[in-house]
Structure formats: C-alpha cells, structure tokens
Chains A and B, each alone.
Chain A
C-alpha cells in the first residue's frame, strides 16, 4: 500500500453536471423544438400563432363585463372605460345562468334538482366504484323513483305505487318458481306487474293520494329546460339503454328464432333512421295516434325515443364485445354445468362488457350531446335557451358568450365521462396480453 503511485487517485471525483445544453429544460427545448432548421421555423410559427390567438382571446374574455342589464349597457360601459378593443359581455351569463342551467324551474325549488343530482352521484357510486359500501345499492334501487318524485314533485304515492310493481315482479320470480316452474315464474314476473301497472296502479295511487295526501309541489315538464333537461334526458337514456342494449345484444346472439329476429329487426330499424326523425315521430306523429285528450308528456316521449335509439347502438357495441370472446369461454362455461343465465352473468358478460367499455362510453357521450337535437321539436335545451335569450331585446345580438358557456359545460360533463372510462379500463385491465 505504501507504493501507491501518486498519479492514481484514491477517491472518486464527484460527478460533474452535464453541460448546460445537455440537461433540463434547455436540452428538452433544443431536442424537441429546435432540432433542425425546419423544426425551428415550425416552432417560431407555432409560437406566433399561439400568441396571436391568446392576444385576441385573453383580453376579450378576462376583461369581460359582468355587471350590466343589456348588451347596449355592456357597450356603453366598455366605451366609457376607454379601452380600445372589444370585450366579452359576460353579464348575459350573470343574468341568465340559472335559466341555462335549470330552464324555467321555479327558483325556490332549485334544491330539488340539485339534491336529485347528488343522490344520483351516491346511487351510481356502488356501480362505478367497487370500493364503495354494498349497502349503497339500496339507494341505487330507490333512486329512479326518488329522482322522479324530486324533479316532478306531486304526490308521493305515484312513484311508490309504481315501485311496488317491481316488488311484485320480484316476488313472483322468487316465490313463484316452486309452483309455476322456472319458465312460468319468468313469464309471470313480466305479466303480473304489467297488468298491475295498467289496471291497478292508477286507481290505487288515486285512492291513497285522496286518503293520505303526502306530496311536494308539482312541477310540470314545460318548466324543465337548459342543462337540467339535457341531463335528465341524457341520464335517463343512459341508465335505461344499457340494460336494454345488453338484452338486445344477447337476443341477437340467441339461437331462438323469434327472439333473434325481433332483436335484429329492432336494432336495424332503429339504427337505420336518424335520431332527429325519431324525435319528430315522438313529437308529431304520436299525437295523431294517441286518443285525443291524453296528455302523454312530450319529455317522456323524447326520453323513450332517445333510450330506444341509444340501446340499439349499445346492443351493437356489446355484440362486438361478445364476438371478441374466444369460443373456449362459452364452452368452458358449459362444461362447468352452468345454465344460460349463469354463464352469461358469471363468465361471458363481465369479459364482454370490459372489452366494450370504450365503445359504450363513447355511445353515452354521443347520446348526451345528441340531446341538443331536441331544440328542433321545441324543447328548450341549452341551445334552444340561447335562442330564447337572444330573443329578449336586451340580449339580442350576443353569441359567443352564450356558446362558450354552453360549450364549457358540455365539455366538463363529457370529459369527466371519458376520464372515468379510461380509469375503469386501467383498473379492469387484467389483460389478455
């Protein structure tokens, strides 16, 4: 050890920092933005375009006027303030935001749709997140009736009596199997509630309502509007079309002739005609066929049409998922001795639905945005309300502010749906790879 040559270091040098051009932001910028003369030019042009766009939009939107009674007043305030460029007149949002969100719903009752939305969030939690407590499923089962009652109000007996029909169906299915056999119980579970709803439910709720008048203030459908209308139609359509679509997809795959052909015809007819035509059918044609004096709510008709329309699309998306499963999965289920419903429920559908998630969510996002089509049959959705607001002489001539607000709201809803689906895909990615 004594002969260690003096030119050999005994200890390592500290690592030096890389040259300034080879690390951090500078390196990233150099490699990604200025790596060659073409990229340099493109970068400079892009930066200029971004600057140009922001220089026009930011002063316009940030400097916008929030306190004014009309577009004319907005312009007066702007001219008085002496700024030389155009600014947004956000006062129209400040004045009408409640209308864009709730339509003509009575303002003292806004808590009802808000509560319904919160309850909806609680109700879908056990479906969306498997960490949520299972007891919340009770809320999920009650939710459709609670939401209807909260939104439309009126006597509590209507939704209760309607819900009783489902209980009856469930009771027939569970306890009738012993006496009627499996097929008889299934048919009974469909027929008995239908008869109950058609014949008994109406008078029963009338009697109960007369005996015990419990209820909250009723709000007719024509007070609904804005995003509330879009969400009610969209959510009702989404919630009801998913099970319907799954049944249609199974029906289309079925070997039973009548079920198969009925599903195929339904899907192809509904899918072969544009949504706007179905909406016009709901709004115009049905009126001629219904007996005069029947007040079949326009909104209900629209919800039914939207549900049927999107269920046909869901059916095809799910069928894609079913078709993607290897034959061995079906055979494996059979070999375990599972019957049809068990094999579907335990083996086939969980896998098929997982594959179909992007398609299903994409259909839902499309459905939600398609609700704006109801403007053509005279329902005041956000776009329809923007026209109605412009028809007020105080706000006539205002465009971008309204459309930006509406677009932003739609983006928030659709983007969160999309993010959720991506999260779900990652979580369920047990993988075939």
Chain B
C-alpha cells in the first residue's frame, strides 16, 4: 500500500514535471525573470561584486538570454549552485538554464537527460610548476608530487595521462582551489593541475607570477557550455541561438557600440537577418524580432564578453587560443543565421 502510494506520487511528480518542461519560455515570461544557475564563485566566470551584482563570463551568457527573451538583461535571478547541486537544480526546474563552467560529456548529455546548447569556452587541463624546477614539458614530470582536487574529472585525466606515458606521480589531495594555491605556494607539491583557465587565474594572484610557468601540454578536452533540460526543445533553441548570436556578431563585426546603428539596416543580409531588420528569425523562436540586438547591446558580442571578463587585459589574462573565431584559427563557428 505504502509502496504504491510512493510510486504514484513519483509518477504524478514525473508527469507534472514532463508537462511543465515544455513551457519554460512561458514560465520565464510569466515570472518576468530568468532563473539562471551559476557557480558560487569562480574567478572571471561568475562572482558577485561589492554591490552584490553578479559579473563574469558565464554570467554574461545568462544576461544575454534574459535580454533576448525579456528585453532586460537585469531580469535574472542568479542561483548559486555547487558541483553537487547543479544538476538536480536544473532537473527539478528550480533553474531554467545552467551556465556554470560545466564540461559537456556524453553521460551528462545522454544519461542525465540534459541538452548542452553549445560551447562558450574551450578549456583543457594543464600543469603549473615553479620556474626554478626547470621543467619545460609535462613529459618531464615523472615522480612529481601533484596537487589535485579530489572527486573531479581532472583527477581521472591526470591518472590517465601519467599511466599512458609510463610515468609515476604522487597525488596530494586537496578540496578547493583556495587550498590548492596555499599548498602549492608552500611547496607541498611540485605541480598544480586544473583547468588551464583556472591555472591562469591562480597564477595571476601570486606575488611573483613570473616565477611560475604553465606547461604547454593540455591533457584533456573540457568544452564548457550552458545547458538546459531535455524535452523542451523550443527553450533549448533559444539558449543555443542566443549563444550563436553572440558568436556570429563577433564574426560579422557587430558590437554593443554599433548594434543600434546596424539594426536600422545594412548592406549585409546576414547582419540584417541577425538583428531583425530582414526576415523573421525572432518570430520563429517565439521572441521579438530584436532579440539578438537586445542580447548584443546589453552584454556585447562574444569577443567583448571574453575581453571584458577573462581576456588579456584583465588580471586573468587568457589568450583567445582555441576560443578564437574559426576565421582566426580558433574553434568558434556559429551556424549561419538563415
């Protein structure tokens, strides 16, 4: 009896969840704000400033979606999520989308029933060592002690890399990035390994950054992107094409400064279609025709977002690298707006 009640409850909850997931757009409109899951704090990607306003590269994606859907980039409730709570928060409907430097993997996409709507940052795991060790390649790290965050994919990647190259290492398990920085500076380990963007951010905080080198080897693929729930393809399309609009805008030379001027109409039909002065791409998404123009004018195109938060002029100082446009030898490649 009790079991059947429990199963019934689960079934009802499941049905109701299925019914609700097909109308995320309506829910967001009715609420008047986008619930966007972010990290509780990662340098350059998401952090609250002194006034409590969230800023960062992932935050920019949330704001762009809010601007495209609601026409207001401040209509976002940022929900801080941890590594443990992020997927449940998305699956249960507490948040509408997750933009939390989450690696796109097969099992997350298929088994956890999420839909990755693109890649906003191509990351990869790297190594940092003190310059005085004189190491210039990760292949020379045989026998090194390595500071490594436990329970992450970086731990598994590290084991794979060392065993496939017939090298040995001694792990120094640590819990958080903050702890890792202290341990590494105190000399508890020779090498610190995490995502290359994290290494750059960490190195930038050191007293003497030039005393540490990030080795050239990248030992894993970490494509980070925003994701939504399975089952609401309309909503997934909106998030996917908002991100594509930011990428395409950079390729087409549309910036937050000139978007208003270009939206009036240009010689380039693709810009016209993107910004809504030609065709009805916005209507196909169920949005207004100036959806992309709103997104671009509020957060800028992909390049502006990158330079403003993590680019070479910020303390983090990341080069574009893989995250350059395909025309510049990078991997960013938006499908055509047609």
Give chain A's interface residues, CB within 8 Å of chain B: 71-72, 75, 95-96, 99, 103-104, 107, 220, 222-223, 280, 283-284, 287-293, 375-380, 384, 387-394, 396-397, 399
B149: shortest Cβ distance to chain A, in Å?
A: 14
Which residue in A71, A95, A291, A396 is a CB contact (below 8 Å) of B50? A95
Q: A292-B16, A393-B44 are in contact. Are A284 and B204 (CB under 8 A)?
A: no
A86: shortest Cβ distance to chain B, in Å?
A: 9
Q: In the complex, are the beta carbons of B48 and A388 less than 8 A apart?
A: yes
Q: How far is the CA of A392 from the CA of B204 in the complex (A)?
A: 12
B95: shortest Cβ distance to chain A, in Å?
A: 11
Q: Which of B77-85, B109-117, B297-305 contacts A (4 or more CB under 8 A)?
A: B77-85
Interface residue ranges of B1-48 to A (CB < 8 Å): 9-10, 13, 16-17, 19-20, 27, 39-44, 46-48
Closest to A400 in B: B182
A157: shortest Cβ distance to chain B, in Å?
A: 23
Q: In the complex, are the beta carbons of A293 and B52 less than 8 A apart?
A: no
**Does any Cβ of A come within 8 Å of B160's Cβ?**
no
Chosen A-B contacts, 22 in total, with CB atoms closer than 8 Å, are A72-B315, A99-B50, A107-B51, A222-B77, A280-B85, A284-B85, A287-B88, A288-B13, A289-B9, A292-B20, A378-B79, A378-B85, A384-B40, A387-B178, A388-B40, A389-B47, A392-B47, A393-B201, A393-B316, A394-B315, A396-B315, A397-B202
A88: shortest Cβ distance to chain B, in Å?
A: 14
Chain B residues with CB below 8 A from A223, complex form: 52
B157: shortest Cβ distance to chain A, in Å?
A: 23
Interface residue ranges of B92-141 to A (CB < 8 Å): 92-94
Chain A residues with CB below 8 A from B42, complex form: 391
Give chain B's interface residues, CB within 8 Å of chain A: 9-10, 13, 16-17, 19-20, 27, 39-44, 46-52, 77-82, 84-85, 88-89, 92-94, 176, 178, 181-182, 201-202, 204-207, 314-316
Closest to B181 in A: A397
Q: In the complex, are the beta carbons of B205 and A71 less than 8 A apart?
A: yes
B153: shortest Cβ distance to chain A, in Å?
A: 20
Q: In the complex, are the beta carbons of A396 and B84 less than 8 A apart?
A: no
How many residue-residue contacts, CB under 8 A, span A and B?
115
Q: From A95, A287, A293, A397, name the one whose CB has the most chain B CB atoms within 10 angstroms.
A: A397
Chain B residues with CB below 8 A from A75, complex form: 207
Chain B residues with CB below 8 A from A388, complex form: 40-41, 47-48, 80
Chain B residues with CB below 8 A from A393, complex form: 43-44, 47, 201, 204, 314-316
Q: How far is the CA of A399 from the CA of B180 in the complex (A)?
A: 12
Q: A104-B52, A293-B20 are in contact. Are A399 and B182 (CB under 8 A)?
A: yes
Chain A residues with CB below 8 A from B181, complex form: 397
Q: In the complex, are the beta carbons of B50 and A376 less than 8 A apart?
A: no
Q: In the complex, are the beta carbons of A222 and B79 less than 8 A apart?
A: yes
Closest to A220 in B: B77
Q: A222-B79, A289-B13, A396-B201 are in contact. Are A390 and B207 (CB under 8 A)?
A: no
Apart from A387-B176, A396-B204: 9 A-B pairs, beta carbons within 8 A? A96-B50, A220-B77, A280-B84, A283-B88, A291-B13, A387-B40, A389-B41, A396-B43, A399-B182
Chain B residues with CB below 8 A from A377, complex form: 82, 84-85
B182: shortest Cβ distance to chain A, in Å?
A: 7
Q: How far is the CA of A75 from the CA of B93 in the complex (A)?
A: 45
Chain B residues with CB below 8 A from A392, complex form: 43, 47-49
Q: Which 5 residue pairs are nearest across A and B when measured between Cβ atoms? A: A397-B205, A391-B41, A287-B92, A104-B52, A391-B47
B194: shortest Cβ distance to chain A, in Å?
A: 14
Q: From A107, A377, A399, name the one whose CB has the most chain B CB atoms within 10 angstroms.
A: A377
Closest to B42 in A: A391
Q: How far is the CA of A289 from the CA of B7 in the complex (A)?
A: 11
Q: From A96, A107, A288, A378, name the one whose CB has the most chain B CB atoms within 10 angstroms.
A: A378
Which residue in A379, A391, A399 is a CB contact (below 8 Å) of B46? A391
Q: A96-B50, A387-B40, A387-B176 are in contact. Are A380 and B80 (CB under 8 A)?
A: yes
